[in-house]
Amino acid sequence: MYDVKFVYSNFDFFNMADEKKKVVALLSGGLDSQLAVRMMQEQGFEVSAVAIKTPFCDFDCGRGCGFEIRERADDLNVNLKTVYLGDEYIEMLKHPKHGIGAGFNPCVDCRTMMFDAAKKHMEEIGAEFIISGEVLGQRPMSQHAPSLRTIEKDSGLIGKIVRPLSAGLLPETDPEKNGLIKRENLGMIKGRTRRAQLEMAKKYGIENPPNAGGGCLLTDPTFGLRAKDLFSHIETPTINDIDLLKVGRHFRLDEQTKFVVGRNKDENEMIKAIALPDDILLQVRDHMGPVSILRGKNADMYVKFASSITLRYSDAPKGIQSTITISKNNITNEITAEHAEEESYIKFRI
């Protein structure tokens, strides 16, 4: 009798292990989302991660975030699915339902799109709910209580989003009501301080925790000005237009013409790679300096002016004529120009 009971108990134990409940995590690569995953793993859930790429926070934005996310997923021992939000993200950005932040960041609408993507993955794998590393009060636009509720409502996930770090301060979710998780196992972190998270990182053995701060370029005030300018002059910008925003010094010469000057070797190479057939590329022939690009309907009108600005940012001596190489549609010409005076072009700087 004892032997039969022992065998049954082991069988029941392994059956329960095979039926481990699944959850989907939005993984950013930051510390908070890692902690959220660890908390759910500690409570016996199988976690599957979703990473979101956008034209403004992708794996090639120069911050190494793509590599970090993949590395974090490996460290956490979770499967990782990458979802790219491209054209649909640009459409949203034209008229964000809930407005923009201090830069050009539509954080509430952006988070809604991210949770929409996580929701699809949740349904695909039969997960119970979604988790994220959001902390109540940490972000001024998207992480205060009304915004969190708005995001849940707009994504059709009311009661299905658990934010483990702050869930003890938030309304009860469906997993709590159904007994899948207990409130005493959830955090009560609030605000911008990271002290509690750093203590948790030690507990979970997370070494060299990443610094706080989002990777979205739209939250950067300077980039936000460029983005506002672009969207105010082009009805539907392309991914190529957005890639150009990420490099160089930007000048708006008229309603239909943009001028960008590279700041270093990497940006020069990027500008050459981004250039379209009708764009005009400018480069000082005999001296070190930037690659510049003229783009727009009236670009040809500004070649001389753009040449003088390109010279201004080069090593060419001031006060003498220098040669500028002009390329368009695989045709190359040369013109001479002199340094522009700052007062002649600074008013066009974005």
Shared-domain flag, residues 195 and 255? no
Shared-domain flag, residues 284 and 180? no
Q: 116 exposed, middle or buried (CB, 10 Å; 0-12, 13-18, 19+)?
A: middle
Shared-domain flag, residues 212 and 279? no
> Which pTM was predicted?
0.86
Residue 91 placed within a domain: yes
pLDDT, tens digit, 9 for 90 and up, residues 12-45 = 444 444 578 999 999 988 899 999 999 999 999 9
Residue 229 placed within a domain: no
pLDDT at position 3 is 41
Residue 236 placed within a domain: no
Shared-domain flag, residues 265 and 187? no
Domain boundary among 217, 235, 259: 217
Residue 333 placed within a domain: yes
pLDDT at position 35 is 97
Shared-domain flag, residues 253 and 205? no
- Output the domain CATH number for residue 64: 3.40.50.620
- From first to last of its 350 residues, the chain has per-residue pLDDT tens of 334 333 334 434 444 445 789 999 999 888 999 999 999 999 999 999 999 999 997 544 444 455 578 889 999 999 999 999 999 999 999 999 999 988 899 999 999 999 999 999 999 999 999 999 999 999 888 899 999 999 999 999 999 999 999 999 999 999 999 999 999 999 999 999 999 999 999 999 998 887 665 578 999 999 999 999 999 999 999 999 999 999 999 999 999 999 999 999 999 999 999 999 999 999 999 999 999 999 999 999 999 999 999 999 999 999 999 999 999 999 999 999 999 999 999 999 99
- Residue 107's nearest CA partner among 67, 144, 62, 64 is 144
Shared-domain flag, residues 145 and 190? yes
Shared-domain flag, residues 210 and 286? no
Q: What whole-number percentage of the chain has pLDDT above 90? A: 83
pLDDT at position 140 is 83
Name the residue with tokens 């949740």: 122
Shared-domain flag, residues 213 and 255? no
Q: What range defines the domain where residue 288 resides?
A: 247-348
Residue 234 placed within a domain: no
Question: What is the rounded CA–CA span in Å between residue 331 and residue 214?
Answer: 42
**Hey, is 195 helix, strand or coil?**
helix
Contact by Cβ (8 Å): 258, 250: yes
Domain count, the chain: 2
pLDDT, tens digit, 9 for 90 and up, residues 256-299 = 999 999 999 999 999 999 999 999 999 999 999 999 999 999 99
Shared-domain flag, residues 50 and 188? yes
Task: From residue 307, give the alpha-carbon distance in Å to each of 36, 239, 273, 335.
Answer: 53, 27, 20, 8
Shared-domain flag, residues 202 and 272? no
Question: What is the rounded CA–CA span in Å between residue 202 and residue 179?
Answer: 29
Shared-domain flag, residues 192 and 302? no
Residue 197 placed within a domain: yes
Residue 281 placed within a domain: yes
Shared-domain flag, residues 179 and 96? yes
pLDDT at position 139 is 86
Task: Share the mean pLDDT of the chain.
Answer: 91
Residue 237 placed within a domain: no
